[in-house]
Amino acid sequence: MPRACTTRRRFLGALTAGASAALVRGGCARPAAETAAPLAPGARRPNVLLIFVDDLGYGELGCQGNPQIPTPHIDALAERGIRLTSGYVSAPYCSPSRAGLLTGRYQTRFGHERNFIGRQNLDPAIGLPTSERTLGDALRDAGYATGLVGKWHLGGAPKYHPQARGFDEFFGFLHEGHFYVPPPYEGVVSHLREKEPPYDANNPVLRGHKEVRETEYLTDALTREALAFIDRHRDEPFFLYLSYNAIHSPMQARREDVKRFSHIKDPHRHVFAGMLASLDDGVGRVMDRLRTLGLERDTLVFFISDNGGPTAELTSSNAPLRGGKGQLWEGGIRIPFIIHWPGHLPEGVTDDRPVIALDVYPTALAAAGVAPERDRTIDGVNLLPYLAGDHDGLPHETLFWRYRDRVALRRGNWKLIRQDRPFRLFDLSRDIGESEDLIDKRPDVAAELRRALEAINGQMVRPRWR
């Protein structure tokens, strides 16, 4: 998928000059820039809205090629923004992906490598290490109002609570999943597994630290709370991390949403469609509120999924990619990735340069005129000069992944991967589906990538838990 050219090049000036973060080059990271250029006198600092959705497959949005389930509101973000078709997350599972997103660092640098579920959420030794600073910390310290609405999954003990990790306000839940309505599950169509995990055990919906009984369909409730946060902070710069748990299991959709898809005969897929439609409606309501308040041009919006879709569980499609959630095949780590900032970035552009969710951290800080920390390696890159057309090169020469005994590295269009057997090599420019292993035909490339992978892996630490 070639990168589309745009006839409009917007130079962001003070927002991008001097605010780039670390680039990974040949396995070594450059220190982050020490200063950020000031905003122009009288300029409003932009709001940051990070919409992070759960288990959405690469091929499930209309703008990603799915004609079966309309997603007009998310598609509109792409139509007025930039769709990054080689956008990645740093892990194929929920919790480590979120750890990388919020710190701008490979989570394997600080041992947050493994996912955790169930009782592990209550273990005080398991969670985002308190030595790490989040995007919430950085923007709150810069004077932003900060809020998290939705799923946390970075530790359930008090020291990991969102309000201890940079967020002034929190409405949501702490563990890996949640039922969409409380028992007896009225008003929804469910397609539950025979042994559905007890998502709600010791995992209440919270407002701050206080348990609340939420009766509205959870996707709608999270949208409601996001709108309220925007309304409260409309007159000051804010950072809202809107972390929908949709379309993560359990599969429960409102009856009225399911009825919209009578043409889908598979009952499992039928429920999935209703869940995705509700998510899309929520995104539409949030964007409508920004427009109504005159804040759309003042708000930098990211829309990203936390990992690839689990096809067998949800019917989710990662087409045309191979594999899905939990794997380092493209289908597990390449995800829908959209950036939207009308009036500041080009609109209606498709960009195929490799980027990663780690880039959200330095990009948001650069937009806010905030310098990243000097005391740690930031693996993400400020994307603003690349997206604006000021830099024509690649934001990343090399991207790296490690999960358990699986590793992968992308350099240019070459990808080296060890997923379930010895290393394999693919040319993604010709084989996005990773079907033709070239390791025997190009041993020179494989050897070069293997050395780069080992150099980067040598900077990482052991997992903090299993």
The DSSP code for 259 is G
CA 137: distance to chain centroid? 18
Q: State both tokens at 463.
A: 């997992």
For residue 87 the two structure tokens come to: 């956008």
Inter-residue contact 312 to 319 (CB < 8 Å): no
Distance of alpha carbon 427 from alpha carbon 367, whole angstroms? 34
Maximum CA pair distance of the chain?
60
Which of 94, 112, 178, 191 is catalytic? The answer is: 94
The residue type of 458 is G
Q: What is the torsion angle, in degrees rounded to the nearest 10, for the CA atoms of residue 289, residue 49, residue 142 and residue 23?
A: -160
Check if 28 is active-site. Answer: no
Treating both helix axes as pointing N-terminal to C-terminal, what angle do 72-79 and 267-292 enclose, rounded to 10 degrees? Answer: 50
Q: What are the phi and psi torsion angles at 159 (to 5°)?
A: -70, -15
Q: Is 364 left (phi over 0), alpha (psi -120 to 50) or beta?
A: alpha
Q: How far apart are CA 303 and CA 340, in angstroms?
A: 8
- Hey, how many other C-beta atoms are within 10 angstroms of the C-beta on 124? 11
Burial letters 131-168, b for 16+ CB under 10 A, else e: ebbbbbbbbbebebbbbbbbbbbbbbeeebbbbebbbb
What is the per-residue burial (b if ≥16 Cβ within 10 Å, else e) of 264-286? beeeebbbbbbbbbbbbbbbbeb
For 129, residues 6+ apart whose C-beta sits below 8 A from its C-beta are 110, 111, 112, 464
Active-site entry in 153, 191, 233, 340 = 153
Q: Which residues participate in catalysis according to the annotation?
A: 94, 153
